[in-house]
Amino acid sequence: MGQVDQNTQNLDEVLFEFIPNGNYVKVVAVDPVTNTEIILVGDRRSGKQMLQKAAVQKLEYVIAKGRKLS
């Protein structure tokens, strides 16, 4: 797992896990503050940075959606 803080507005830290499976990679991203977890599957050729960016965007969306529902 690692962390990234690339211009994310709401997230100070994100934990990642990358699980390769053939031509695809399963990415698990967790916000340790809210304990929100997302999973996405991406093309292995996309590269780690692209997959991290997509995971952070999805994580921010899920957190924001959860706040609106509360």
* pLDDT tens sequence across 4-62: 444 335 689 999 999 999 999 999 999 999 999 999 999 999 999 999 999 999 999 99
The pLDDT, as a whole number, for residue 69 is 79
Q: Which helix (H) or strand (E) holds 27?
A: strand 24-31
As to burial, measured by CB atoms within 10 angstroms (0-12 exposed, 13-18 middle, 19+ buried), residue 27 is buried
Side by side, the strands of the sheet bearing 15-21 are: 15-21, 24-31, 36-43
Is the pLDDT higher at 68 or at 34? 34
Secondary structure (3-state) at 36: strand
Residues forming beta bridges with residue 27, ordered by sequence position = 18, 40
